[in-house]
Structure formats: structure tokens, C-alpha cells
Amino acid sequence: MADTINLNAVFGPQYEIVIKQEEIAIDKDFNLTMETKEPLRLNVGTGFNNTGSNSSSGTIDVRVTADASLGAFRAIGYNGLYVQPTLISLSQYAGISRVAVTSGSTMNVVRSGLLTESGWNWTVNSPVFITTDGMLTQSLPTGDIRRIGWAISPTELNLDPYPIIGV
């Protein structure tokens, strides 16, 4: 019998870990198999060190290949495009870009954890949403909604994506 752990909150609905062993104990070795439900260009990163004006700590990063030129500090999908306020696009949210890249480039995006940018001026203790072309906003967007984090200071977000709310 296989146990299934859903990683939807971390990587999105495209991935799940399937433990193919009848009995699992913490002190035993076991194999994990990761299968995609659809083709994606995704590699889980191990973190990102940045000495510039932006940084992240305690993050889960995702590696994405850009399918277009992309700007910094935007919501990026697994498909390498800006996330749009639609159910399909919001379900493909991979994370927030830290740098601008050209089409075909790979980059790490921050999926969850703390992200700092000295140029931000967020309202503390207010949610942050995705709006058109991956822009981040604290105004409630129209259409489908996905809260991806909270401002914990004017320049720092705690990225913690919530499920999509279709309206």
C-alpha cells in the first residue's frame, strides 16, 4: 500500500510524493518517487545568496526557465511567464523573481519564506496578492485571487502562498 503526501502548498498541484513501501519508520531508509502530472521545467533549488539590496532567508526556491524576458520582483509561473489573475495561471505560481532575466535564462524564484527588497514600501500586517503581469499588490485584485504572503515590515514579505479563490 502506498502512502501519499501532497506537496500542493509547497510546489503546486502538479507534484506529490509517493512513498512506495508498506511501513515507514523514521529510522529506516525509504525511496521517494516524484512524478509530474504534466510536463514542467522545474528543479527545486537549494537557496540563493545575494549581497545586493534584496535578499531572502529560510526560503524554498524553485528553478524556472524564462519563456519571455521577465522583470525582478514579479510572480512567475512554472511555465516561465508572469502569473496572471486567472485560475490556470495562479495554479502555476512558482514564486517571486529576484532578478530580471531574458527569455531562455534560468533563475531561482522564491516560493516561500522571507523576501526583502529595500525599494518596497508595504503596509505592515497586510496581505499581498498577485495581479496582472505578476505584479504584487496589497489591494484586493479583481477576478481570481491568490494571497501569496504578508508584509512583515515595509521592505520584507513572508511568502506563504494560500489556495486560489475563484470569484
In a domain, 150, yes or no: yes
In a domain, 152, yes or no: yes
pLDDT value, residue 67: 94
58 and 138 in a common domain: yes
Number of separate domains in the chain: 2
Residue 133 CA neighbour count, 13 Å, CB half: 5
58 and 11 in a common domain: no
144 and 102 in a common domain: yes
72 and 56 in a common domain: yes
CB 115 within 8 A of CB 156: yes
pLDDT value, residue 8: 45
In a domain, 167, yes or no: no
DSSP 153: E
Residue 72 CA to residue 34 CA, distance in Å, equals 30
Whether pLDDT at 65 is above 60: yes
Residues 122-137 pLDDT 10s = 999 999 999 999 999 9
C-alpha cell at 59: 526560503
Residue 127 CA to residue 71 CA, distance in Å, equals 22
94 and 20 in a common domain: no
Whether pLDDT at 162 is above 60: yes
142 and 105 in a common domain: yes
Whether pLDDT at 100 is above 90: yes
pLDDT value, residue 38: 45
127 and 59 in a common domain: yes
3-state secondary structure of 43: strand
Whether pLDDT at 118 is above 70: yes
Using a cut of 0.75, tell me whether the model's pTM lies above it. Answer: no
Give the least confident one: 47-51, 141-145, 153-157. Answer: 47-51
69 and 140 in a common domain: yes
32 and 56 in a common domain: no
83 and 12 in a common domain: no
Containing 89, the helix (H) or strand (E) segment is: helix 87-91
Which domain covers residue 74, as residue numbers? 43-159
Q: Is the pLDDT higher at 90 or at 45?
A: 90
Q: Is the pLDDT higher at 97 or at 55?
A: 97
Query: Across the chain, what does the average pLDDT equal?
Result: 75
Q: What is the mean pLDDT of residues 25-52?
A: 43
Q: Cβ neighbours of residue 28 under 8 Å, at least 6 residues apart?
A: none
140 and 122 in a common domain: yes
Whether pLDDT at 87 is above 70: yes
136 and 106 in a common domain: yes
